[in-house]
Amino acid sequence: MRIALLGGTGDIGEGLALRWAFHTNHEVVVGSRDPERARTKAEEYETELSSRGVDAKVNGFANEMAADRARVVVVAVPAYHVSDTIETVADKLDEGDVLVSPATGMKRDDEGFHYHRPNAGSVTQLAVDAAPAGVDVVGAFHNLAAGRLADLDAELGIDTLLVGDDRDAKETVRLLAEDIDGLRALDAGSVANAPEVEALTPLLVNVGRNNEGMHDLGVRFR
């Protein structure tokens, strides 16, 4: 399957691009507002994969072109760019395409990180509100530490949580998630259940900051 990573030059985009290109035969397309930067990062990913004996083709394009070419489009941008990024690519999306939203809203102060819930209810809901008709949104990959994901030597052994209102779209993303070695996908319910999923991200950061020897944390439900 062809997967576009909008904002695929950023840290969570890099991790997902490398993991899918390394562990699967899916075709990964890197998108960026700056196509030159997308091409440069795509080449970097190819070099990293090649150094590990994987000869995968990773292309880089402007976000619009990346979205145009993919069946699944991951909006791997900060929370405050989710809406405008989706609007930019909206007319390149076809009915049946799936948007994946991994972003969460966080605020930081002296006490640590806090979930910053958008007025819409969740960042995933922001994506739903911006998505064109016929394109379903699935929230996923919120709780993965970017550095650990991008380090192909790092074992995962953790879970990612899915929220979405369309069963087929959720199943598509579940399969893509479980294609990554060491990642288990669990269903956390509908888009209305996204806030609790998104709030887990600042919690993971806080636990990492407050416990010696713990960093780049994920969670396992058991």
Would you tell me which residues interact with a copy of itself (CB under 8 A)?
A: 109, 111-112, 114-115, 157-158, 161, 186-190, 192-193, 195-197, 199-200, 202-204, 206-207, 209-211, 214, 217-222
Which residue, 134 or 157, is less far from a copy of itself as judged by CB?
Answer: 157
Phi, psi angles (nearest 5°) of residue 100: -115, 130
CA distance 135 to 176: 17
Which residue, 115 or 141, is less far from a copy of itself as judged by CB?
Answer: 115
Rg (CA), the chain: 16
CA 57 to chain centre: 20
Phi, psi angles (nearest 5°) of residue 44: -60, -45
Which residue, 52 or 167, is less far from a copy of itself as judged by CB?
Answer: 167
Which residue, 95 or 109, is less far from a copy of itself as judged by CB?
Answer: 109
| Shortest distance (Å) from residue 162 CB to a copy of itself | 9
**In sequence order, what are the residues at sequence separation of 6 or more whose Cβ sits closer than 8 angstroms to the Cβ of residue 42?**
8, 30, 58, 59, 60
Q: Are 136 and 166 in contact (CB under 8 A)?
A: yes
Q: How many residues does the chain have?
A: 222
| Shortest distance (Å) from residue 98 CB to a copy of itself | 19
Tally Cβ neighbours within 10 Å of residue 211. Answer: 10
Which residue, 20 or 115, is less far from a copy of itself as judged by CB?
Answer: 115
| Shortest distance (Å) from residue 22 CB to a copy of itself | 21
| Shortest distance (Å) from residue 13 CB to a copy of itself | 23
| Shortest distance (Å) from residue 156 CB to a copy of itself | 9
**In sequence order, what are the residues at sequence separation of 6 or more whose Cβ sits closer than 8 angstroms to the Cβ of residue 35?**
60, 61, 62, 65
